[in-house]
Amino acid sequence: MSAALDAVQRGDSEVPEVTNLAGAVRAWLALDNGLQNEAVLTPERPVDLDGEAVAAFEGQAIRQLADLLPE
């Protein structure tokens, strides 16, 4: 599934990173804490977490997805 990682300053502009969901989460993990808190991750379709469909993840909520990634 593809996903966009938005609201992250890259150089002198704010350009969304569009990649697969795992790649977007790994890119978020590589950010410093301040940028992590500002980031918004939007998958192409809602993700089912604990029976709830989540359409977007903001800031530290992205860590929920990071915790599900294989090491």
Tell me the percentage of the chain whose pLDDT exceeds 70.
Answer: 87
- Mean pLDDT for the stretch of residues 16-34: 87
Half-sphere exposure of 68 (CA within 13 A, CB side): 13
Greater confidence, 23 or 14? 23
Question: Is the model's pLDDT at 8 over the cut of 90?
Answer: no
Mean pLDDT of the chain: 87
pLDDT per residue as tens digits for the range 30-57:
989 998 999 999 999 999 988 999 999 9
Q: Which of 33, 10, 30 is nearest to 22 (CA)?
A: 30
One-letter amino acid for residue 65 of the chain: L
pTM (2 decimals)?
Answer: 0.83
